[in-house]
Amino acid sequence: MRPPRGPWTLPETVSFLALVFRNLFRQRVRTVLTVLGIAAGMTIVVALGAITEGLRITSAEFVGAGGADFLVAQEGASDLTFSVVPADDVERIAARPDVERATGALIEVAELGDNPFFLVFGYDPQSLVDEPLPLTAGRVPDPEAAQEALLGARAAADLGLTVGDTLTVDGEAFDVVGLYSVEDQMRDSGAVVPLSTLQRMSARQDVVTAIHVTVAPGEDPDEIAEAIERDFPQLATIRDVDEYSKVDQGFEILDAANLAISLLAVGIGAIGVMNTMIMSVFERTREIGILRAVGWRGSRILRMVAYESLLLCLIAAALGIALGVVASRAVLLIPSISAFLTPAYPPDIFLRAVVVGVVVGLLGAAYPAARAVRLSPMEALRYE
Amino acid sequence: MSERAIDARGVRKSFEDGHIQALTGMDFAVQQGEFVAVVGPSGCGKSTLLHLLAALDQPDEGEIHVGGHDLRRRKDLNHFRAQHVGMIFQLHNLLPTLTAVENVQVPMFEEGLSPGERRRRALALLDAVGLEGRERNRPPELSGGERQRVAIARALANEPAVLLADEPTGSLDSEAGRLVLDLLERLRRERNLTIVLVTHDPEVAARADRVVRMLDGRLAPAEEPATATA
C-alpha cells in the first residue's frame, strides 16, 4: 500500500516547474528573506505608482471641472497653484468667438486646522450664478457678498461644517451659504469663495491661477487650444492629464522618483537574487552534475536556474503588489492627504512591478545560470 | 556472434596538462548483453574509462563506440547519454526533494514524454526493481539499498542498452549489495542489458561474466584484447 502524500508531495508525475518550485524552497528561510527584500522595493514602486496615479486622476478631474473642454494656465509653472494668469487674459479668451465660456479660478492653499493643504478656489460670483455648482444644500453666494462661501461635500464632512456655519481661512471668516458635491476631488475637498476676496487675501490682485475653457458649439477643442497657445505664448492649455506637466512639474518629479526607485529596486533586488541563486547553484553543484549525467542539456539547466530566479521574483512581485496596495491605502489615514488623494490602481502599475520582477529575476539569474551551464559534468560529479 | 555494445580503441586521457595519465592507450570491448566487471587498484583509470564510455568526458586520443555510436562524431552528447547509457554511481545521487517515482522521471524530461507516460514508465521501473509501495518516499526515507535501486530504475528510465555502474555496492552493506547485484543480473537477463561495472570488491567482480583488470591506465597484460573480447 502506498503511503499518504506529505504536504509537499505532488502527484507522481513531477513537472519541470514543480522541480523548480521545490528547489527554490529547499532553503526556506533564505528564500523568504530574499523575497521580502525584493518585495520591499516592489512595495515602494507600487505604492508610489498608485499615489502618483491618484494625483493624476485628481488633476485630470480638475482639468475638466464644470464640463470645461480644457484648462489654461501659466506655461512652465512648477506647480499649478503657482501659476499666474493675468485676469485680462480671462476676458480676452472669453471674448473669442470660438469660446463659449472662460472662467478664471484662483487657487490658494491654506492651512485649516490639521490640514495644511486645504484648497480654496476663488471664482467670480457671477460665474457661480451662470454656471452653478451642483448644490446639495443652501444657495449660491450673493454676487455682491464678499464673505460668503460654498463648501465641498468632502470638506464639509471633514470639517464638520454645514450651511450657516462659519469657515475661517487665514483669519478671514466666511459664512457657509451652500454645500456642493462635484466629481473632482480637489474642489470637493475645498471651498469656493469670491475671486476678489481671495485675490486680496493672497495679495494676488488681477490674476487667476487657471482658466476653465468651454469652446463654442461645433468648435474643435484641440484646435481652439492650439490657437490659444499661439495667441498667448505665456499660457499653456491642458486638455488631458498627460499635458499636466506643462503647468505642473510635480508629476515629472514623481515620475522621476518612481523611475529612480524602480531602478534601485532592480539593482538591489538583482544583487540579492544573484547572491541567493549563486549560493543555490553552488550548493547543488553535484546535483547539476547528476542532471547532466542523466542527459539534461545545458539549456534545461539554464532554464531551471532562470525559472527559479524568476519564480522567486514573481513571488516577491505578488507580495510587493499586495503590500504596495496596503501601503497606498494606509496613506489615506492621514486626513490632509485623504482630502485630495485617492490612490488609483491602473493595470500598468502592477505590470510595472511584474516587469521589475522579471528584470530582477533575469539579471539575478544570468551569472548563476551561466556558471551552472559551464560546469562540466565531470567537475560537478567530483564536487563534494 | 553477438554485436559489440562497446568498442574503445587506443583511448588516452590525461589530466592536469598531461601530468596525470589516466588512460594510456586503452583498448576495451564488450559484447551486447555481456556483464563485465572492471577491477584494478585505485588510480588505475577505471572510473575515467567509465566516464568516457558515458560521454561525460572526452578522450584526448582514440575512438569510442557505444551502441554503434561513434562518440567523436556525436555533437549532442547529452542526448546520447539520455538515450543510450544509464549511469549508476557509488552514492545514489538522487535528488533529495523528489520522491522515488519523481527521481526516476528526471532523465525522461529530455525525451518529450507526456506526464502520463513518464509516470507509467517510472512506476513500472520501480516495480521492476522491487520498490512497489515506496514510490512516494523521498531518498532520506529510503534505506541505502532502496536508494540504489531507485538509482538503477533511474538509469533505466530511457531504456538504454548499456548500463555503466561505478562501485554501485560500494556504500552498501553486504546484504544490500547482494540484492543490488541480483537485481542487475536479473535486469540484464530480462532486458539484454550490457553492463560494465567498476568495483574494488572481488566478490562483486565474481558476479560478472568477465572480469577485466586494469593497471596504469590500460588493461593488465592478461586482459589484452585478444583474450578480453574472446
**What is the value of ipTM here, to two decimals?**
0.84
Q: What's the rounded Cα separation, in Å, for the pair A10 and A214?
A: 64
Residue A5 has pLDDT above 60, yes or no: no
Compute the average pLDDT of residues A286-306.
89
Compute the average pLDDT of residues B115-127.
90
Residue A8 banded pLDDT, cuts 50, 70, 90: very low
- The reply to whether residue B78 touches residue A295, judged by beta carbons under 8 angstroms, is yes
Residue A315 banded pLDDT, cuts 50, 70, 90: very high
| CA nearest to B125, candidates B94, B104, B109 | B104
Interface of B with A (CB under 8 A): 51, 54, 56-57, 76, 78-83, 87, 89, 93, 95, 97-99, 101-102, 105-107, 109-110, 115-116, 118-119, 122-123, 133, 135-137, 154-155, 157-158
Residues of chain B positioned with their CB less than 8 A from the CB of A377: 56-57
Cell of B193: 542489458
pLDDT, residue B225, reads 46
The answer to whether A230 touches A93, Cβ cutoff 8 Å, is: no
Residue A14 banded pLDDT, cuts 50, 70, 90: low
Residue A4 has pLDDT above 70, yes or no: no
Residue A333 banded pLDDT, cuts 50, 70, 90: confident
The answer to whether A46 touches A32, Cβ cutoff 8 Å, is: no
According to the 3-state scheme, what is the secondary structure of chain A?
A: CCCCCCCCCCCCCCCHHHHHHHHHCCCHHHHHHHHHHHHHHHHHHHHHHHHHHHHHHHHHHHHCHHHCCEEEEECCCCCHHHCCEEHHHHHHHHCCCCEEEEEEEEEEEEEECCEEEEEEEEECHHHHHHCCCCEEEECCCCCCCCCEEEEEHHHHHHHCCCCCCEEEECCEEEEEEEEECCCCHHHHCCEEEEHHHHHHHCCCCCEECEEEEEECCCCCHHHHHHHHHHHCCCEEEECCHHHHHHCCCHHHHHHHHHHHHHHHHHHHHHHHHHHHHHHHHHHCHHHHHHHHHCCCCHHHHHHHHHHHHHHHHHHHHHHHHHHHHHHHHHHHHCHHHHCCCCCCCCHHHHHHHHHHHHHHHHHHHHHHHHHHHHCCHHHHHHCC
Compute the average pLDDT of residues A172-195.
90
Residues of chain A positioned with their CB less than 8 A from the CB of B99: 9, 12, 14
Kindly state whether A28 is in contact with chain B, defined as any CB-CB distance less than 8 angstroms. Answer: no
Q: What's the rounded Cα separation, in Å, for the pair A369 and A37?
A: 21
Residue A176 has pLDDT above 90, yes or no: yes
Residue B229 has pLDDT above 70, yes or no: no
Residues of chain A positioned with their CB less than 8 A from the CB of B131: none
According to the 3-state scheme, what is the secondary structure of chain B?
A: CCCEEEEEEEEEEEECCCCEEEEEEEEEEEECCCEEEEECCCCCCHHHHHHHHCCCCCCCEEEEEECCEECCCCCCHHHHHHHHEEEECCCCCCCCCCCHHHHHHHHHHHHCCCHHHHHHHHHHHHHHCCCCCCCCCCHHHCCHHHHHHHHHHHHCCCCCCEEEEECCCCCCCHHHHHHHHHHHHHHHHHHCCEEEEECCCHHHHCCCCEEEEEECCEECHHHCHHHHCC
Q: What's the rounded Cα separation, in Å, for the pair B100 and B98?
A: 7
Other CB atoms within a 10 A radius of the CB of residue A279 amount to 14
pLDDT, residue A180, reads 93
Read off the pLDDT of residues A108-139 as tens digits, 9 standing for 90 and up.
998 887 778 889 999 988 887 777 788 999 99
- The reply to whether residue B97 touches residue A376, judged by beta carbons under 8 angstroms, is no
Compute the average pLDDT of residues A335-351.
83
Backbone angles phi, psi at B34, to 5 degrees: -85, 150
Residue A12 has pLDDT above 70, yes or no: no
pLDDT, residue A156, reads 92
Cell of A29: 528561510
Residue B25, phi-psi category: left (phi > 0), alpha (psi -120 to 50), beta (remainder): left
pLDDT, residue B228, reads 40
Backbone angles phi, psi at A378, to 5 degrees: -65, -45
pLDDT, residue B74, reads 83
Q: What's the rounded Cα separation, in Å, for the pair B195 and B160?
A: 11
Q: What's the rounded Cα separation, in Å, for the pair B148 and B93?
A: 9
Sign, CA dihedral A114-A156-A254-A245, equals negative
Residue B137 banded pLDDT, cuts 50, 70, 90: very high
Cell numbers 546535483 label which residue? Answer: A287
- The reply to whether residue B119 touches residue A13, judged by beta carbons under 8 angstroms, is yes
Contact map slice: A 267-286 vs B, CB within 8 A: 286
Residue A305 has pLDDT above 50, yes or no: yes
pLDDT, residue B199, reads 92
pLDDT, residue B2, reads 56
Residue B5 banded pLDDT, cuts 50, 70, 90: very high
pLDDT, residue A45, reads 86
Q: What's the rounded Cα separation, in Å, for the pair A266 and A50?
A: 19
The answer to whether B138 touches B97, Cβ cutoff 8 Å, is: yes
Backbone angles phi, psi at A133, to 5 degrees: -70, 150
Cell numbers 531507485 label which residue? Answer: B150
Q: Which residues contact B119 (CB under 8 A, 6 or more apart)?
A: A11, A12, A13, B101, B105
pLDDT, residue A306, reads 92
pLDDT, residue A337, reads 76
Average pLDDT of every residue of chain A: 86
Cell of A221: 477643442
Residue A208 banded pLDDT, cuts 50, 70, 90: very high
The answer to whether A37 touches A264, Cβ cutoff 8 Å, is: no
User: Which one is predicted more confidently, A57 or B63?
Assistant: B63
Compute the average pLDDT of residues B23-44.
92
pLDDT, residue A384, reads 60
Q: What's the rounded Cα separation, in Å, for the pair A73 and A84?
A: 7
Largest CA distance in chain A: 95
Q: What's the rounded Cα separation, in Å, for the pair A222 and A312?
A: 48
Among A8-17, A304-313, B118-127, where is mean pLDDT lowest? A8-17
Largest CA distance in chain B: 51
Residues of chain A positioned with their CB less than 8 A from the CB of B95: 19, 287, 290
Residue B182 has pLDDT above 80, yes or no: yes
End-to-end CA distance of chain B: 10
Compute the average pLDDT of residues B147-168.
91
Compute the average pLDDT of residues A305-323.
92
A256, burial (CB in 10 Å: exposed 0-12, middle 13-18, buried 19+): exposed
Residue B216 banded pLDDT, cuts 50, 70, 90: confident
Residue A13 banded pLDDT, cuts 50, 70, 90: low
Residue A352 banded pLDDT, cuts 50, 70, 90: confident
The alpha carbon of residue B163 is apart from the nearest alpha carbon of chain A, in Å, by 12
Residues of chain B positioned with their CB less than 8 A from the CB of A16: 109
Distance of CA A165 to the CA centre of its chain: 35
pLDDT, residue A325, reads 95
Beta strands A148-152 and A172-180: pairing type?
Answer: parallel
> What is the C-alpha R_g of chain A?
29
Other CB atoms within a 10 A radius of the CB of residue A51 amount to 23
Residue B222 banded pLDDT, cuts 50, 70, 90: low
For A110, what's the count of Cα atoms within 13 Å in the CB-facing half-sphere? 24
Residue A191 banded pLDDT, cuts 50, 70, 90: very high
The answer to whether A127 touches A212, Cβ cutoff 8 Å, is: no
Kindly state whether A5 is in contact with chain B, defined as any CB-CB distance less than 8 angstroms. Answer: yes
The answer to whether B88 touches B168, Cβ cutoff 8 Å, is: yes
Q: What's the rounded Cα separation, in Å, for the pair A193 and A191?
A: 7
Backbone angles phi, psi at A174, to 5 degrees: -125, 140
Residue B223 banded pLDDT, cuts 50, 70, 90: low
